[in-house]
Amino acid sequence: MTVNEEMYRLGSQRSAIRELFEYGKGRAAEIGAENVYDFSLGNPTVPAPECVNETIRELTETTDSVSLHGYTSAQGDEAVRQAIADYINRRDGMSVAADDLYMTMGAAAALSLCFRALTVSREDEFIAVAPFFPEYRVFVEAAGAKSVVVPADTGSFQIDFEELKKRIGPHTRGVIINSPNNPSGAVYTEETVRRLASLLREKSAEYQTRIFIIADEPYREIVYDGVSVPSVPKYYDNTLVCYSYSKSLSLPGERIGYVLVPQSVTENRAVYAAIAGAGRALGYVCAPSLFQRVLVRCMGQTGDVEQYKRNRDLLYAGLTKIGYECFLPQGAFYMFVKALEPDADAFCEQARKEELLIVPGTGFGCPGYVRISYCVDADMISRSFPAFERLYKKYCAEEHS
Ligand code: PLP
């Protein structure tokens, strides 16, 4: 083979989610989009808040285009980082400085930079708590480290601490957490974050190592029923926060986010420099310039989260009425539902026969469950219920035959 085998493998196999999405597009062309119920992707459907387009118009009309579209410094424009730091400090009562922030192309890049910056040996391990975003594995392994999985606590979708404890060892470099969670919709409670912090302090002392928390928070603002998302660095010093505006501002294609390296991180400057070095090594150069500047004027704004809440309520009520066992999401825009047979892949195949495109939990490290993405048209949710009901009845009929 004349190309890198691992890169070839990654590039020629689509993720299960993308595969399903592509299938859905083909199917819609065959039988009409109105007859396909595509719950596969996490692409926000509420428009970006008005301030985004207003700011783009204003910036393109009033700023000279050479500076507007020029390179920024690698870590991002200083005024932008200062505005984000001020916002985090107001929101969480922290003392973040502009120089603690490194602008990235979304959370995916932020995570990749953290894994690259922290990996020092081939034996290093990053632990992901299931259910988890499947790309973590790709990013961790591409950084030269190993990924370790903690099975899900399917009762509450918090953390199974007994299982986590068993997996922490001398090679553990970090624990990746994602709250609000894709795919379960769970939000970690303050108690969960406290317990995690205390366990990692204990284990860092036991092994004489520094174990990081990598807090992946692209859904931080998408929460319901007044639930609050604890600010992890306030509980644990060695926390790196990966944030993205993909979901909160509905800008997934514009690729904008950041890594926060709080001052509480031991050797904060060295960690920050290694993140910058990883950005350089990967050829990231700088985060998109126009969208860095858009952020300054849209700080704290979000798309219409209520629309996602209405979808959540509609879907939850409809599916539980049919008889499905669903976890009520407190945040993000996914519902995690128990498959009607132990093999979630086979269940999703059956769902596909009813034109329902849902994603097996297997890739999220949680077999036996399926993810239904509800950042879709409310009308499609309502129209899909008869198909969900047929699927349910098929399984009931099989059980009784
Ligand atoms: N982390 C999680 C949990 C996600 O769900 C996603 C995207 O869906 C990402 C990271 C990557 O987000 P971004 O578009 O900001 O790279």
Closest CA to 80 of 296, 231, 245: 296
Closest CA to 324 of 335, 333, 311: 335
Structure confidence at residue 42 as a pLDDT band (50, 70, 90): confident
The tally of domains found in the chain comes to 2
Instruction: Tell me, yes or no, whether 62 lies in a domain.
Output: no
Residue 401 has pLDDT above 80, yes or no: no
Instruction: Tell me, yes or no, whether 54 lies in a domain.
Output: no
Does 195 lie in the same domain as 116? yes
Does 315 lie in the same domain as 292? no
Q: For ligand 1, say whether the CB of 178 is within 6 Å of any of its atoms.
A: yes
Instruction: Tell me, yes or no, whether 57 lies in a domain.
Output: no
Task: Look at residues 297, 328, 357 and tell me which one is the last residue of a structural domain.
Answer: 297
Task: Look at residues 297, 321, 353 and tell me which one is the last residue of a structural domain.
Answer: 297
Instruction: Tell me, yes or no, whether 183 lies in a domain.
Output: yes
pLDDT digits (tens, 9 = 90+) for 106-138: 999 999 999 999 999 999 999 999 999 999 999
Does 159 lie in the same domain as 128? yes
Where in the sequence is the domain holding 243, given as residue range(s)? 70-297
Structure confidence at residue 28 as a pLDDT band (50, 70, 90): very high
Does 265 lie in the same domain as 172? yes
Instruction: Tell me, yes or no, whether 63 lies in a domain.
Output: no
pLDDT digits (tens, 9 = 90+) for 310-359: 999 999 999 999 999 999 999 999 999 999 999 999 999 999 999 999 99
Please give the share of the chain, as a percent, with pLDDT higher than 70. Answer: 100
DSSP 8-37: HHHHHS--HHHHHHHHHHHHHHHH-GGG-E
pLDDT digits (tens, 9 = 90+) for 276-317: 999 999 999 999 999 999 999 999 999 999 999 999 999 999
Q: For ligand 1, say whether the CB of 373 is within 6 Å of any of its atoms.
A: no
Instruction: Tell me, yes or no, whether 100 lies in a domain.
Output: yes
Residue 256 alpha carbon, nearest atom of ligand 1: 15
Residue 15 has pLDDT above 90, yes or no: no
Q: What is the CA radius of gyration of the chain?
A: 21
Q: For ligand 1, say whether the CB of 42 is within 6 Å of any of its atoms.
A: yes
* CATH number, position 204: 3.40.640.10
Does 18 lie in the same domain as 109? no
The tokens describing 57, both together, are: 């118009």
Average pLDDT, the chain: 96
Does 152 lie in the same domain as 273? yes
